[in-house]
Chains A and B, each alone.
Chain A
Amino acid sequence: KAGVTQTPRYLIKTRGQQVTLSCSPISGHRSVSWYQQTPGQGLQFLFEYFSETQRNKGNFPGRFSGRQFSNSRSEMNVSTLELGDSALYLCASSRDRAEDYEQYFGPGTRLTVT
């Protein structure tokens, strides 16, 4: 069974640009969550999608947005990039099943903003 995949793995952008990151969940998983990981702030929740609907959103500015497609693949977009957006962006998928709940993480996308 293939794991969570994220593309691209590395990205370098300049301030003011926008970026789109992609996440393909494990087959059969309908929930996709996004996290930002930085040395200073640690792991922070961005948002979660389930069946194409955003169910939860973290405390991030509106420049951060996402969406989920009918095949459960998800994208997140960051507009007007700032230096502070440099981070590892992790995507996780789950079956949304209570009895053995687990979020499976992808390898992440390393975004560098210059």
Chain B
Amino acid sequence: AQTVTQSQPEMSVQEAETVTLSCTYDTSENNYYLFWYKQPPSRQMILVIRQEAYKQQNATENRFSVNFQKAAKSFSLKISDSQLGDTAMYFCAFMKHLTVGTASKLTFGTGTRLQVTL
């Protein structure tokens, strides 16, 4: 079974600053996906960034980037130039790599509540 651990229940960052959210996971799988999802107070969960384990290059989406360390089973999210709209719960999630006939199931961490302040 896979487990995902987010050790920071809450974090705060000032607008325009940079913040890093931590995530570690445990798995015996070699091929898998890792995700960061954002859930703003309005509740709709949206994907922030995705990383496939076989790709060594860290994923980047605009102000969001990850530091993926496969051997250490670590997957942190860096948010640069933080904006008020980044205030949300952030969930790290794991899924086995999709192959024909396999089911898709996300295993989530407990989340980090990020507050961006003026």
Interface residues of A (CB under 8 A from B): 31, 33, 35, 42-43, 45, 48, 50, 55-56, 58, 88, 90, 92, 94, 96-98, 100-108
Contact = CB atoms under 8 A, between A and B. Distances in A.
A103 B37 CA distance: 10
Contact of A42 (B44, B46, B110): B110
Given A42-B109, A56-B105, 7 more contacts: A31-B104, A48-B103, A101-B33, A101-B104, A103-B104, A105-B45, A108-B44
A108 B110 contact: no
Interface string B42-80: 111111001000000000000000000000000000000
Secondary structure of the A contact surface, majority rule: strand
Contact of B103 (A56, A102, A104, A108): A56
List the 3 closest pairs (A to B, CB-CB), nearest first. A56-B103, A55-B103, A105-B45
A101 B95 contact: yes
Given A43-B91, A88-B43, A90-B45, A103 B103 contact: no
Interface of B: 33, 35, 37, 42-47, 50, 91, 95, 97-99, 102-111
B43 A101 contact: no
B110 A101 contact: no
Given A43-B91, A98-B97, A105 B104 contact: no
Nearest to A106: B44
Contacts of A31: 104
Nearest to A94: B104
Nearest to B101: A55
A7 to B, nearest CB: 15
Contacts of B35: 102
Contacts of B111: 42-43
Q: Which of B46, B47, B106, B109 is packed against the most chain A CB atoms within 10 Å?
A: B106
